[in-house]
Structure 1
């Protein structure tokens, strides 16, 4: 069997085992990953910066006794410091090049992982489709006419295409879970404070952004979390310490759990029959595992909640644009995409007192949700309301494009202060992804489960959201469902190696 075929078939844990037994060398794995990256690059367009020379050099010296020694990996082109490597954030703003590694990168390297590339992201992670003026369209290895989701779409594409078995990803409004749902992967959005973002930043989007990974298997997600979690002196948040290792949690039977299912749209927007079918598949797998499942409603998670979330994001975007202007030494609104400009201008006119009020309101709703769902070990709910969209499907067209142009050129962001106008923009931005932001606001962990493939052959995952700090139960449940379903063996049909 060729090394490329082994890379395509195995997860990170399996590849590391082969390296540690001497059956494969890190150099062979890295060379195979680079060859596959280049072979699939024209099809999926998932690489922002190739790191091939550095990867080959690291492969020659990596300690083969390390937990994930020699395993090829990718780092997201957003919100991370990788010494000497330009990070673009999916934008045409001049790239940021750190003279240090983020804490998480240091932990990746200490585990033996070998970054071969940075993966594409939409501009500043703002879209849940990975398409940008700077890098173009990143495409789904299951069907290159369709989206990978976003904002960790490049990471998901590289994993689904068999270039790397797992990749760094981040999630501020579904950006780990949406690409996982679109690409047939496991994607764990961790609890707030589980993994530090330092020293690049202390927090992002008022604590709503977390970092972890997209992976082929539950055991890889658990193992990566074991190797990267833990406090850092510069972090403002800290998640509760796990009772044991996350890998041990993924390896054990979860016992009989009490699960809930929430199937309504918090936006009151249509949900496809395929999404509900995927949710029912997850429910059936859970019941086959011996768990009880109860339908629940969350009436206070509605349009006002989602509008408050959107306003916090626009405020964060406005702050980011200001910080980038200071870094570059000039205004950067001309460098960014039209939609980013509109959001930044709106964020700039939200008064500080109103923003504080919004955050307090979101925190109060979070406390209520956490308290009311505490009796359940996890809550199953959708991630995407429709199967993976065609590339370009969320670009504004016709009247929508005209309105966005007017908002931009005439500096009419103040119109978004009108509730109905903001609601229309929110619906156009989130009609594909109604649910994921809930857990970013509450800080809860949530794991994307690749339970379903549509009749058209596209993955469609759902999520299980857990109690704050309780990734262990989610990983145990997910591993059981993975075993029952056999989803870990599914592979995208793109350039299957012989």
Structure 2
């Protein structure tokens, strides 16, 4: 197998080639290892690795031998240092055991070769932590790779690996998917395990899965990792059939609302709005009933709740790191906005926290009501195509409220579905005049992953993206016969 052949295959196809014996898992790992190293040199996407050999994994798993990477946040592997994007952890914390999700990745046969970059403690819409430096966009290296799963998205977009772990507390799967031209599904609350170290990350706003290049890879991976463990806070309703089957299923005729105006009142690039409207026309031509509509939201209340919940969560994470390492957090080892959020989070009292959680309940009830009228909601993923590097400077002198507003004004379409805990997916359905991908988001009610995957597969066929490659790609960095 040469590198052009490797980079052309998604994870499903690559697993089939390895299983057939046409190429060995060791040969594929050697290609991926060199590709990761070369991509990292150009774009700075790797926090740890590439490793000399993949982490242990099942030889008979669905994705046996398929190269993979995990994000340097939440999910971790035994014996592999994790820094979570912060200098507070120094050279990294080395966990003694896998998280449950890492167990599932290994059981699926995924061959983990690297840990990818993230902003400090995951709280940014780009990936430019002082702990690693800026991760650059392969389509235009002066632009952001998005966040907080920016390093993961870069490795997948450049063909170095066909899929990579990502997580999402306010848009962190979907935003980098949009910036890098990928598929990014944020599953519903509780769908994918995040234990045993925690239960529901970010008060239930956090979700785990991956970024991929194809809808079928997203569906197949969800089949492998969506399980419950003893002690999980609840067990979510299982699918009626495997999600991998949904990509071949007819979605039927759905009621789809379309909305292109930012709930924050912030700027939406006309190219982004046009991409959403064009997607709406394609869906209408496919037989769906499409009309403009939106849940009724009070942005100020949502933003205040985000500030309270993110800040108190960051304060808790920093307290854990201090207890683990004996270090003392402060502006000398945390970025300025992180420190502002931690200081505020330490002051949040029970009444303020309870009020923020009440806001989540209120918005969840409104969005739930909205989805009794519509099956899906179609919006932009990100207000603009990938912005220039430095557009969200986490080391700026800003208060917790100013920093949170700056992030969610730029990512104003994604965080709602973290607050409601309902699934949403970003698809790379358009390109800007500047040559940057544009992501379009579909969101649905609780337990609607199957419906989202059916419609996503329908759009993948009608508005294909498989032939697009960024300017910086593993095939341009390596000889075809490598």
Using structure 1 for the length normalisation, give the TM-score: 0.92
User: What does residue 332 of structure 1 align with?
Assistant: 329
Question: How many residues were matched structurally?
Answer: 473
Task: Kindly indicate whether the alpha-carbon contact (under 8 Å) linking 1:188 and 1:212 is maintained by their aligned counterparts in 2.
Answer: yes
Summarize the alignment of residues 86-485 of structure 1 with structure 2, pairs less than 5 Å apart: 86-94=81-89, 95-333=92-330, 334-395=332-393, 401=396, 403-404=397-398, 422=401, 424-485=402-463
Distance 2:391 2:288 in 1: 38
CA contact (8 A) 1:281 1:451 kept: no
Q: Which is worse superposed, 449-458 or 303-312?
A: 303-312
Match of 1:5 in 2: 4
| Alignment deviations for residues 22-49 of structure 1 (CA, whole Å, 9 cap, x no partner) | 1111111110001111121121100011
On the 8 A contact 2:163/2:210 being kept in 1, the answer is: yes
Moved more, 444-453 or 228-237: 228-237
The residue aligned with 1:419 is none
Distance 1:102 1:312 in 2: 23
Q: 1:24 to 1:375 in 2, by over 3 A?
A: farther
Partners of 1:146 and 1:237 in 2: how far apart? Answer: 40
Give yes or no for contact 1:125–1:151 (8 Å, CA) kept in 2: yes
Please list every run of 5 or more consecutive structure 1 residues that lacks an aligned counterpart in the other structure. 405-412, 417-421
Q: Distance in 1 between matches of 2:82 and 2:97?
A: 12
Gaps in structure 2 of 5+ consecutive residues: none
Greater displacement, 218-227 / 263-272: 263-272
Aligned partners of 1:9, 1:384: CA distance in 2, in Å? 27
**449-458 vs 480-489, which deviates more?**
480-489
Q: Distance in 1 between matches of 2:190 and 2:145?
A: 27
Asked whether the 8 Å contact 1:281–1:452 carries over to 2, the reply is no
Q: Describe the SS at the equivalent of 2:201.
A: coil
Residue 58 of structure 1 and its aligned partner are, at CA, apart by 4.6
Give, in angstroms, the shift of residue 396 of structure 1.
7.3
**Residue 66 (1) aligns with residue 61 (2):** yes
> Offset of 1:319 from its aligned partner?
1.3
What is the CA-CA distance between 1:425 and the residue it aligns to? Answer: 4.3
**C-alpha distance in 1 between matches for 2:390 and 2:382:** 16
Q: Contact 1:77/1:89 (CA < 8 Å) preserved in 2?
A: yes
Give the match's secondary structure for 1:14.
helix
**Contact map agreement 2:152 2:165 (CA 8 A) in 1:** yes
Following TM superposition, the consecutive aligned residue runs of length 4 or more in structure 1 with deviations greater than 6 angstroms are none
Equivalent residue for 1:407?
none
Deviations 1:239-270 (A, max 9, x none): 21111100001121212111111222111111
Once the two structures are TM-superposed, the CA of residue 491 in structure 1 deviates from its matched residue by 2.0
* Alignment TM-score, normalising by the size of structure 2: 0.95
- Tell me if the contact between 1:180 and 1:214 (Cα under 8 Å) persists in the aligned partners: yes
Determine the C-alpha separation between the residues in 2 that align with 1:436 and 1:238: 25
Q: CA deviation at 1:449?
A: 0.9
- CA shift in 2, pair 1:22/1:301, >3 Å: farther
What is the rounded CA distance, in whole Å, between the counterparts of 2:47 and 2:282 in structure 1?
37
Task: Give SS of 2:319's match.
Answer: helix
CA RMSD of aligned residues (A): 1.7
Structure 1: distance between partners of 2:187 and 2:301: 25
